[in-house]
Amino acid sequence: MAFDRLYLANCMLIEIGEKTLPSLGTDSKSQRLAEDIIDGNTAETFALPIDYHFATAYAELTRIAVDPAFGYDHQYKMPDGCVRVISTIDENYQDLKYKYERGVYCHVENGQMVQDDVLLCDQDKVFIKFIVLRTNPGRWPAWFTRLVVLKGARKMCVPLSENDYRKLSIKQDYKEALADAMAANGLDAMNVTEDGRDEFSGEKNIADGFM
């Protein structure tokens, strides 16, 4: 089974009790609606205030030669696909807090207006930890796919099935899936103290069980 856009569309249709699609080239109402929803729906799910470990990336930002006209000393180009900055960090991946803002650098290249996403600050070097938009459904964990599907099914429910009751049912399913997603995401990382104990419970690191 291919975990692709067709898979997402059919999962959404199944949730609202509609027939599945053989392909995304059928030019049906359900196909057009699914195509319209998928990209925005995916972006919205990545933009939720959850620090998804499977979508967490690290980068040293490139300083733009032209400094801001006022407010901050420097501006740095944001990485492609950056949805949200989790934190500013140092070279050793440790949190390093300082004042910054996200903004847009507008300039002209080859006669065309270009808008670059930037981070504005006074630092001479900038490293960030951030959420990156991953558009390939085949690389998502199952719990994240479930979130995207239910979020999309809610949007498709009334236009296709005109079933307000099913929409309410999907809304409840989505709340439960969101709680499951936050729990599953938490299992993808472990914070420990310097002596190797669980930062939250005080218990010894799970790695001790393999020693």
Going by C-alpha positions, the residue among 63, 49, 43 that lies closest to residue 181 is: 49
Widest CA span of the chain, in angstroms?
63
- Can you give the pLDDT at residue 211? 29
pLDDT reported for residue 203: 34
Per-residue pLDDT of the chain (211 residues; tens, 9 = 90+): 678 999 999 999 999 988 999 988 877 888 889 888 999 999 999 999 999 999 999 999 999 999 998 999 999 999 999 999 999 999 999 999 999 999 999 999 999 999 999 999 999 999 999 999 999 999 999 999 999 999 999 988 878 877 777 888 999 999 999 999 999 998 887 766 555 554 443 333 323 332 2
Query: Directed axis angle between helix 29-46 and helix 5-15, to 10°?
Result: 100
Distance (Å, rounded) from C-alpha 178 to C-alpha 156?
A: 19
| Residue 61 and residue 49 in contact, taking contact as beta carbons nearer than 8 Å | no
**Residue from 22, 207, 55, 68 nearest 135 by CA:** 55
Cβ pair 147, 182 in contact under 8 A: no
- Quick one: pLDDT at residue 168? 85
Task: Say which residue the tokens 């006669």 belong to.
Answer: 111
Angle at 67 between CA 61 and CA 73, to 5 degrees: 80
Confidence (pLDDT) at 26:
78
| 3-state DSSP assignment of residue 119 | strand
Looking at residue 24, what is its pLDDT? 86
End-to-end CA distance of the chain: 39
pLDDT score for 193: 54
Beta bridge partners of 198: 192
Burial class (CB in 10 A: 0-12, 13-18, 19+), 16: buried
How much is the pLDDT for 166? 82
In this prediction, residue 93 carries a pLDDT of 94
In this structure, the dihedral spanned by the alpha carbons of residues 80, 81, 87 and 92, taken in order and rounded to 10 degrees, is: -60
Question: Cα dist. 119→86, 106, 127 in Å?
Answer: 13, 13, 11
pLDDT at 101: 97
pTM of the entire predicted model: 0.83
pLDDT at position 204 is 35
Whether 96 and 86 have beta carbons less than 8 Å apart is answered as: no
